[in-house]
Structure 1
Amino acid sequence: MAEAGVNPVLFEQGGVFIHTTQGDAEDVLLGGKVQLVRKYGSEYIEWNPLHVSDSEPRIEQPDKDWTVVNTVSYRKDNVGAAGESNGKPDAESVVVAHQPTRRSHYSMHCKLNDVKTIRKSKPTLGWSYLVFKLKDNVSMPPLHFHEGGSDKLMAEIKKYVTVATTPTDKRLMVVTPNNCDALTQSFSELQILKETSQTYAHKFFQDPYTATLGGFSKVTNFLKDNLLVNQPYSRPADEYAELMPDMAGLGLTMSLEAEHGYELIMQAKLGPRPEITRSDPVTQEEWKKHIDKEGRITDVPQLMKRIFKGGLSPSIRAEVYKFLLSYYPWDSTTKERTEIKKRKEEEYFVMKAQWRTVTAEQEKRFSKFAENKCIIDKDVVRTDRVHPYYQNDSSSHLEILNDILMTYCQFNFDLGYVQGMSDLLSPILLVMDDEVDAYWCFVGFMDHIGVCVNFDMEQDGMKKQLLDLNKLLQVIDPKLYSYLQAKDCSNLYFVFRWLLIWFKREFTMENILRIWEVMWTGEPCKNFHMLMCLAILDGEAEHMQKEDFGFSDILKHVNDLSCRIDGDVILARAEAIYLQLSEYKELPHVIKEIIGTAPASEENGATTGTESPVSESSIEVLAESEGEQAAEQEQT
């Protein structure tokens, strides 16, 4: 037991049992108490039996992958007889393996920062239990709270580490050390959600993984506290939640140069940034000139360049979007498109009928369906409600928005619905004004444009984009990069929302339609949306540095940019950045790969260490979901 004044006890709970079995013997309960103790400058979870006697059963554990380590922890059962692990003595204690001392027979503890996940029991059990799993994937025996207190322990634990519930398993919590005080402070200060319903705000931040991105699914646990947002301009009070990442889930390593011993920040300056002039939108007359007598679209590369330079006139968006979003092939004839539309309509209504005919009894036994339906119901009534197209509560457009999202869940069972998708669908439905056409264009946006990777459960797509953006910033603006490093912002988490939903909440509706149609062309390079991020940052860099913004200030400032940015200015600046990069002959290979200017032979072949300063090892993958395993066995 920790001594008061030396090792202060932060929390203590008695009536905590370890359940053990001895071969075919009956279940044995070992009563004890659990403590949260501070010692050695860190917090530890400890469990000690209340009584130690010679009559106590001894746990034989040939099939377990842990052993007792001198009252302090459980380790993998790969130690030698001399008390060494992998040939090295334990720095903290001597391993006793299966012959622990009398004092240490059942006692255990672990450093709180070494905990990887915590699994809690089902609420239907007579008592609660917690299972602590360490970062080396060693699971400690379940601690059963026969006298209660597990919730109080978790509340105390959350004071010292970040605990985030996973989307697919509400009983599994991922633990991350609080090693970024600036981030925690910034989230507390950053106003993210202005909700009239405190209940919704509470639910949102209690489990933002589900409430924010329907589980970003599917992106991770997002913000933790009940933050309120002051949405600028036209954002309504109850429109929708902010999309921001959980740092633990992303887990990026951004110290690229030090890690790889390579100076990515170029000492030589890029050439001057050219002045870019945007063109007028493609008109209906110009569009018709690209349609031959059978209805095929001609000179597609030249047309794509025109759309990139000027966008589209509103009068032809509904027609052209079907090609840009792969609803129709560019080389299809008018007759072929009639057949495609007929087939797509039939396919859509078959999928729609599938979910509409799910009965209430079926829904009770179909948790994924019920979860998707619940989140969509909440999101639809908050999406773009200030726009006239969606303003009326009785509007059929809201119902169509709901039906399309539900049907997409039926189309993409694995992904389902993730909050943020309604942001991507809303402008498309507004333009198409047709349920079937809007649905298939949305599918094209998600699948063919590839935005669905943003909502992947493991977040690999978002991690890679943030890392690539970090590399680009080092080249484009080393001064800004150094400044952000000094402010603990070089991870660029504050642009997460920009990437996630393609700037949907940063621009007005008319601006975002122009930006999207331009980016859908794939011109002038791969990952042009990342250059858009750099263009926005470029416009704010001087102000942020002049005001000496700190971590929280930068996040607030970025949030306040919503709907205050000129889309054409950012498009022109992003194009200028591309030309500035593409014309620099000594551009690092890794940057060429990001923007797609590396020769095909180089892209397909392996690069040497000097050519590529960044490796994929700099991405730390989010702790993978746990199985029921030991906890479920203990339950039964």
Structure 2
Amino acid sequence: MRCRRKKQWVWAIYWLKPSTTIIRPLPTDYIHILVYEQDEVYTLPTSQDELSVSGKLRIIERRHGVVVEWRCSDDETWADSEWAVINSAAVTFTHHNVSDSVEIATPRRNVRPISIELVDLRSYRLGKDGSLVLIQRDGTTHPALKFHSGSVSNFVEVLHRYVAVRKSEKDNNLYLVSDKRQAAMDDELSAMNLVPARRGIGGGWGGGTGHVPWANTQQRVWGFFNILKRDPYTTTVNALSKFYDAVLYTGVEGYVRESDGEEDVAELFNSLNVLEDLEPGYELLTKKGTLSERPEVERLAPLTHDEFQQFVDDDGRILDVGPLKKRIFRGGIHPNLRRELWCFLLGHNIWNSTYIQREERRQERENLYYTMKQQWKTITEDQESRFSGFKERRSLIEKDVNRTDRNHPFFEGEHNTNVTLLHDVLMTYVMYNFDLGYVQGMSDLLAPILYVTQNEATAFWCFAGYMDMVYRNFDVDQSGMKQQLKDMHQIVRLVDPELMSYLEVRDSANFYFCFRWLLVRFKRELNYASTLRLWEVLWTGHPCPNFHLLVAVALLDTEKNTIMENKFGFTEILKHINDISLRIDLDATLRKAEAIHLQIASSPNVPDSVRIVLGLPVQEPLSSPHSTCKDIVSDDRISNGVDVTSDEGLVGTVGLVGVVSSMIGSAVRHLSGDDLIDAPLETVPTQEQEEEKCFETALSHQFV
């Protein structure tokens, strides 16, 4: 082994035979032990047009810790590779493609290498197809890797040498990674039997079916102590809230009974956890029977030309607009038909117009477009110097156009005429709607339209029609976007109170991490083909207004287990949401979004705020305008799916728990130093200031 310098030596031992050892000195600064290596580990493509990239996956022991690395096979610039030591216990798998059947005809794509220290690995996901997705503690979610030779089980086997792995209880494909020492402490805590098995409501163990151990006891205990240490005030209130729910549902008699000391401890933690793991910063909202069962939904193939002709008469009129839109919603539009139908969906063409009328309208609007284009093209530099609004918008458009979809073949390369068209259409829109002008994000909405229509004037009028739908996204004060985020809050609270509770505790209930989704209608989250299909589905207006919000809710439902099991906070959620872009299954998401709509539409007791957002009929009020205070409390509990059996008991319980919560909460908050009542007024940020700061943080991570 060659050495660069003679400093600090470490003895590397190679076991050749049971009776033979060779001892060599190696420089400590450069020792890397290769524990695992697998060739032909490919990145999974996110679309049919994208190519897989082959690379090597390795586990390396370094001086500062163990590292998991993946790099493209063409990029062999591994740091200090000449000093690598091959461990005799290493598991190595190599395979070479002899036939050279995989050829990359397009220019080499830059693929971000993966390098993760095991202390930063939070979990990994195994797909049904054998793919592997690595997820870090900071929310970074790496591209899926596919093993073309060998097996992912070999990688997992080596990984188990260094970390403790347990399977998620809620997601069969997700595996949580933790330090082995912490896992051993948890096992010791469980072995101490501080919290015995829980007695069922009927008095028997596990509901009268025999003795059943209380699963994940150590998680509950550690979780409770961790959250108590971090936020004693919230922990106290949450614990009392859970106790209140338990008393309300089960009755006081079920909790006031004689029992020994062990059962008291078990019941205490059981009441705090409400039959679920109490993780740090996590609270479970209990809801009963609020929504109907979510149905299964199937989608159709894209609308073809032959199908479309059934909706058109001999003169070109489209008569059955409603069924046609519903058909487009169910499957999208075939690419060959997309240019024609987009003009209808975006208002450039009128549905019941004839072929002749559409051609006349096209000529008229084309002339009008070029008239407006000449208006800004003839502005002199002297005029522009005194036209600050126009000058600022021109500058912003030029910056955004030069970085919009430049990796797409339609816009790539220097001196691309399509990029010039993109610029000209946006500048003309400034003259068409100077009040709105240009705001960052509009170029993202125009680019796919220009790609589909491939005509400057047609693209302009289709873009203008799209802007009529989403202009509130570009309000100067962001009021339109904030309203959509509030609407999402209402829907998620109804559909998934468990996730809503988690986000609230993690300071993420503002849904700012969804800002980019809604602003440009998921354009940066999907590949081009999926973006085109999603947009034409949304433009139909089926099955309800604001269906894009249900698409966002469906995506959150898909990522729910990953977010909650990894205990992601606000920053980690932002990072994770950004990393799942271009890896979204659109068909599955649309099926889930439609199923959520059907679930809400068929459910009783849906809040009117959600019904208004989704265009559902508002229910009649359940009480008269002269309802008493007690009636209001009861109605509020009913609307949230709670079974109230006694108003008197309810009011009494609310009063008792409320008083105790206030007293204990004030005391704990004071002792923990969180009481800001006596602080100077100017040092206490208002809620509005905090929300604005959080909103700007989300923007900096997601869009700007």
Task: Give the TM-score normalised by the residue count of structure 2.
Answer: 0.48
Pair 1:584 & 2:603 matched: yes
Q: Deviations over 1:207-257 (max 9, x none)?
A: xxxxxxxxxxxxxxxxxxxxxx99988xxxxxxxxxxxxxxxxxxxxxxxx
Residues 545/600 of structure 1: CA separation in 2 closer, same or farther (3 Å cut): closer
C-alpha separation in 1, matches of 2:430 and 2:303: 35
One-letter amino acid of the counterpart of residue 420, structure 1: G
Residue in 2 aligned with 1:364?
385
CA contact (8 A) 1:487 1:550 kept: yes
Pair 1:345 & 2:350 matched: no
Pair 1:471 & 2:487 matched: no
Aligned residue among 299, 310, 313 for 1:292? 313
Pair 1:487 & 2:506 matched: yes
Residue in 1 aligned with 2:544?
525
Pairing 1:494-513 to 2, within 5 Å after superposition: 494-513=513-532
Q: Deviations over 1:366-406 (max 9, x none)?
A: 11111111111111110011110001221110000000000
Pair 1:550 & 2:572 matched: no
One-letter amino acid of the counterpart of residue 541, structure 2: G
Tell me by how many angstroms 1:268 deviates: 2.5
One-letter amino acid of the counterpart of residue 345, structure 1: E
Residues 468/545 of structure 1: CA separation in 2 closer, same or farther (3 Å cut): same
C-alpha separation in 1, matches of 2:577 and 2:400: 23
Residue in 2 aligned with 1:384?
405
Residue in 2 aligned with 1:428?
449
C-alpha separation in 2, matches of 1:345 and 1:441: 12
Tell me by how many angstroms 1:272 deviates: 1.9
Residues 303/620 of structure 1: CA separation in 2 closer, same or farther (3 Å cut): farther
Pair 1:539 & 2:562 matched: no
Q: Deviations over 1:266-295 (max 9, x none)?
A: 542422211111100000111122111111
Residues 601/402 of structure 1: CA separation in 2 closer, same or farther (3 Å cut): farther
CA contact (8 A) 2:291 2:600 kept: yes
Matched residue SS, 1:386: coil
Matched residue SS, 2:333: coil
Tell me by how many angstroms 1:461 deviates: 1.1
Residue in 1 aligned with 2:91?
none
Aligned residue among 464, 476, 486 for 1:443? 464
Aligned residue among 585, 589, 612 for 1:566? 585
Residue in 2 aligned with 1:461?
480
Q: Deviations over 1:142-198 (max 9, x none)?
A: xxxxxxxxxxxxxxxxxxxxxxxxxxxxxxxxxxxxxxxxxxxxxxxxxxxxxxxxx
CA contact (8 A) 2:290 2:603 kept: no
Tell me by how many angstroms 1:324 deviates: 0.3
Give the RMSD, CA atoms, in angstroms: 3.0
C-alpha separation in 2, matches of 1:231 and 1:545: 14
Residues 232/355 of structure 1: CA separation in 2 closer, same or farther (3 Å cut): farther
Residues 498/550 of structure 1: CA separation in 2 closer, same or farther (3 Å cut): same
Tell me by how many angstroms 1:329 deviates: 1.2
Residue in 1 aligned with 2:149?
none
Matched residue SS, 2:412: coil
Q: Deviations over 1:24-52 (max 9, x none)?
A: xxxxxxxxxxxxxxxxxxxxxxxxxxxxx
Residue in 2 aligned with 1:145?
none
Residue in 1 aligned with 2:295?
274
Residues 585/336 of structure 1: CA separation in 2 closer, same or farther (3 Å cut): same
Residues 394/265 of structure 1: CA separation in 2 closer, same or farther (3 Å cut): farther
In structure 2, the gaps of 5 or more residues are: 1-138, 144-240, 242-283, 641-686, 693-704
C-alpha separation in 1, matches of 2:387 and 2:421: 23
Q: Deviations over 1:474-496 (max 9, x none)?
A: 01100000111111101111001
Residues 291/600 of structure 1: CA separation in 2 closer, same or farther (3 Å cut): farther
CA contact (8 A) 1:460 1:621 kept: no
Residues 423/485 of structure 1: CA separation in 2 closer, same or farther (3 Å cut): same
C-alpha separation in 1, matches of 2:626 and 2:489: 20
Alignment length, in residue pairs? Answer: 359
Q: Deviations over 1:352-379 (max 9, x none)?
A: 0000001111111111111111111111
One-letter amino acid of the counterpart of residue 441, structure 1: C
User: Which has the higher mean CA deviation after the structures are superposed, 457-466 or 403-412?
Assistant: 457-466
Tell me by how many angstroms 1:620 deviates: 9.8
Structure with greater Cα Rg = 2
One-letter amino acid of the counterpart of residue 313, structure 1: H
Pairing 1:200-211 to 2, within 5 Å after superposition: none
Tell me by how many angstroms 1:332 deviates: 1.1
C-alpha separation in 1, matches of 2:426 and 2:620: 41
Residue in 1 aligned with 2:334?
313
Q: Deviations over 1:321-360 (max 9, x none)?
A: 0000011111111111111111101110010000000111
Residue in 1 aligned with 2:436?
415
C-alpha separation in 1, matches of 2:370 and 2:619: 43
In structure 1, the gaps of 5 or more residues are: 1-228, 234-257, 624-636
Aligned residue among 413, 422, 432 for 1:401? 422
Pairing 1:80-95 to 2, within 5 Å after superposition: none
C-alpha separation in 2, matches of 1:264 and 1:230: 28
C-alpha separation in 1, matches of 2:142 and 2:535: 22
Residues 601/340 of structure 1: CA separation in 2 closer, same or farther (3 Å cut): farther
Matched residue SS, 1:491: coil
C-alpha separation in 2, matches of 1:621 and 1:328: 46
CA contact (8 A) 1:278 1:309 kept: yes
Aligned residue among 335, 345, 348 for 1:324? 345
Task: Give the TM-score normalised by the residue count of structure 1.
Answer: 0.53
CA contact (8 A) 2:140 2:572 kept: no
Residues 283/232 of structure 1: CA separation in 2 closer, same or farther (3 Å cut): farther
Tell me by how many angstroms 1:526 deviates: 1.3
C-alpha separation in 2, matches of 1:231 and 1:428: 30
C-alpha separation in 1, matches of 2:285 and 2:346: 36
One-letter amino acid of the counterpart of residue 515, structure 1: L
One-letter amino acid of the counterpart of residue 510, structure 2: N
C-alpha separation in 2, matches of 1:621 and 1:344: 47
C-alpha separation in 2, matches of 1:281 and 1:512: 14
C-alpha separation in 2, matches of 1:366 and 1:498: 34
Residue in 2 aligned with 1:119?
none
One-letter amino acid of the counterpart of residue 314, structure 1: P
Residues 491/430 of structure 1: CA separation in 2 closer, same or farther (3 Å cut): same
C-alpha separation in 1, matches of 2:580 and 2:531: 14
User: Which has the higher mean CA deviation after the structures are superposed, 400-409 or 266-275?
Assistant: 266-275
CA contact (8 A) 1:264 1:474 kept: no
C-alpha separation in 2, matches of 1:365 and 1:548: 54
Greater helix share, structure number: 2
Residue in 2 aligned with 1:120?
none
Tell me by how many angstroms 1:264 deviates: 11
Runs of 4+ deviating beyond 2 Å: 229-233, 263-269, 599-602, 606-614, 618-623
Tell me by how many angstroms 1:607 deviates: 13
CA contact (8 A) 2:302 2:332 kept: yes
C-alpha separation in 1, matches of 2:511 and 2:607: 21
Residues 607/492 of structure 1: CA separation in 2 closer, same or farther (3 Å cut): farther
